[in-house]
Structure 1
Amino acid sequence: MTRIALLQMTGSIDPVRNAQTLVDGIAAAKAGGARMLFTPEMSGLLDRDRKRAAAHLAAEAEDPVLAAVRKAAAEQGIWLHLGSLALRSDDNADRLVNRGFVIDDTGAIRARYDKIHLFDVDLDTGESWRESSVYDAGDMAVVADTPAGPLGLSVCYDLRFADLYRALTDAGATLLAIPAAFTVPTGKAHWHVLMRARAIESAAFVIAAAQAGRHEDGRETYGHSLVVDPWGDILLDMGETPGVGFAEIDTARLDEVRRRIPVLDHRRAFAAPEPSA
């Protein structure tokens, strides 16, 4: 049994304030007995005003939020899944990456993941999002060893692409991290059902730390940070209030579900049909 914590936050346009929220969350998670804390997508900066945000964007090696949380993780002696940061690409300073990190209890970076699926959509509410206009997509699935078990990494919109989670569980993941800054309309329609589906079809725990509430840049995010067990039961739902929540990861439950319905053992390769004309 491993105790984990999730930080639900209302991220701001100020990285200094976000860094303090993260540092405080790390301390609260440690005080609550957690071995590992999970944080949302865009933990360091949430600002859709690109001109204003540009002044705060840095490459990984110079990012002050990343430095602050690594220091705090080492001081508190706790592992951290930093859901993601907006960072300047090392290959092209005019482009960004949406990168998540696994950080151990010494502050060392154990794994990195760049969001593969970018959110380019127009919603009925009038909201329009074009992540690909500024972000470069990742091209590699990542599984990292953690105190709670092998952790498959993903970010937000990745949730809708089941083949990614098949690849992660084929590689041994027993937990799936899905940090997010979900819009309210898509959250109301799809958040819970997709999170439970990913847990059930993968026979894995889903851990989804989320942004919540109305943000300084005008957007509103859905919240409802979740922990879902491999049977699809919701162990934690944090609603719409920022703060730190806790859940227990029970490997006996994982083994029980995988014995009851061994979906991973039953996966088979198959030939795909030809595309229709």
Structure 2
Amino acid sequence: MLRSMEPFRVGLCQVPAYPLERAEENWTAILAALDEAGHQGAQLVGLPECSYPAYYVRDARPYDRPGVRPFAEVTAVLAAKCRQWRYWLAAGLAVPHPDGSLTNSGLVFDPAGEIRGRYDKSFLWHFDARWFRRGREFPVWDAGFARFGVLICADARQPEVARALAVNEAEVILDLTAWVSWGRTMTELSTTQCEYLVPVRAFENGVWIAAADRFGPEGTSLVYAGRSSVYDPEGV
């Protein structure tokens, strides 16, 4: 059962999509969005799926490519932003591991800049299955003002991912996403996830869901809808 929560402010960083070759432009946009969230007084911030270095990473070693910042540098800067603005951050990143594998993850930082854990995308879909290792754990963090968990994009297509987080006592779920979309114009871009699936996940489990999405084209084959949204426990 949800406890009574005092109001708090969520920042959803709807950043433009960039291909891997434009990682530095992408990084600049990410930092600007994180600063804007801080200026707006956000206490809990979400960066979309694979915000850095890209979603279409092409292989399991994207951080070895020219122009991509080292992963340790990326996490150090994100930690500094959390300390600067005193917020919790769930950052959608491609995360490399010592065994050479890569996960599509939400890395969670606290306001002191400490990494408090990681959620790895469980339901790998399309490009994901080529180079990412699937996750099998569904952690929840207590931020004081709320208990929150993370799911990533296509995880919302599977009822049990959100359900596992709710069973683990999440009150809020951050959906770090890259909603592949359709539409005749940029303003008409949409997806069944934001219109139907995510509201249903919120209603099924009686939780708040806050979805942070990328927008626009990444390369020549992917277009993201934007449509970052907050859904209440009734799916509205």
Letter of the 1:204 partner, please give it: V
- What do the CA deviations read for 1:86-111 (whole angstroms, capped 9, x no partner)? 122222x1x31111111111111112
Whether contact under 8 Å (1:44, 1:85) holds in the other structure is: yes
Whether contact under 8 Å (2:179, 2:193) holds in the other structure is: no
Q: Where do 1:101-112 residues align within 5 Å?
A: 101-112=107-118
- Classify 1:130/1:183 alpha carbon distance in 2 versus 1 (closer, same or farther; 3 Å): same
Letter of the 2:93 partner, please give it: L
How far did 1:144 drift? 1.0
How far did 1:218 drift? 4.3
Whether contact under 8 Å (1:200, 1:230) holds in the other structure is: yes
CA distance in 2, matches of 1:49, 1:79: 26
Candidates 129, 134, 142, aligned match of 2:131: 134
Whether contact under 8 Å (1:11, 1:45) holds in the other structure is: no
TM-score by length of 1: 0.72
How far did 1:47 drift? 5.3
**Could you tell me which residue of structure 2 aligns to residue 227 of structure 1?**
230
Whether contact under 8 Å (1:47, 1:217) holds in the other structure is: no
Candidates 196, 208, 212, aligned match of 1:209: 212
CA distance in 2, matches of 1:53, 1:111: 22
CA distance in 2, matches of 1:153, 1:133: 22
The percentage of counterpart residues that share the same residue type is: 26
How far did 1:210 drift? 0.4
Q: Where do 1:116-195 residues align within 5 Å?
A: 116-119=122-125, 129-185=126-182, 187-195=190-198
How far did 1:66 drift? 2.0
User: Per the alignment, in what secondary structure is the counterpart of residue 194 of structure 2?
Assistant: helix
- Classify 1:147/1:225 alpha carbon distance in 2 versus 1 (closer, same or farther; 3 Å): farther
**Could you tell me which residue of structure 1 aligns to residue 202 of structure 2?**
199
CA distance in 2, matches of 1:112, 1:47: 17
Candidates 10, 30, 38, aligned match of 1:22: 30
Whether contact under 8 Å (1:47, 1:53) holds in the other structure is: no
TM-score by length of 2: 0.84
Which contiguous aligned blocks of 4+ residues in structure 1 show a shift greater than 6 angstroms?
A: none
**Could you tell me which residue of structure 2 aligns to residue 45 of structure 1?**
53
**Could you tell me which residue of structure 1 aligns to residue 64 of structure 2?**
55
Letter of the 1:81 partner, please give it: A
User: Per the alignment, in what secondary structure is the counterpart of residue 178 of structure 1?
Assistant: strand
Count of residues in correspondence between the two structures = 218
**Could you tell me which residue of structure 2 aligns to residue 98 of structure 1?**
104
- Classify 1:74/1:56 alpha carbon distance in 2 versus 1 (closer, same or farther; 3 Å): farther
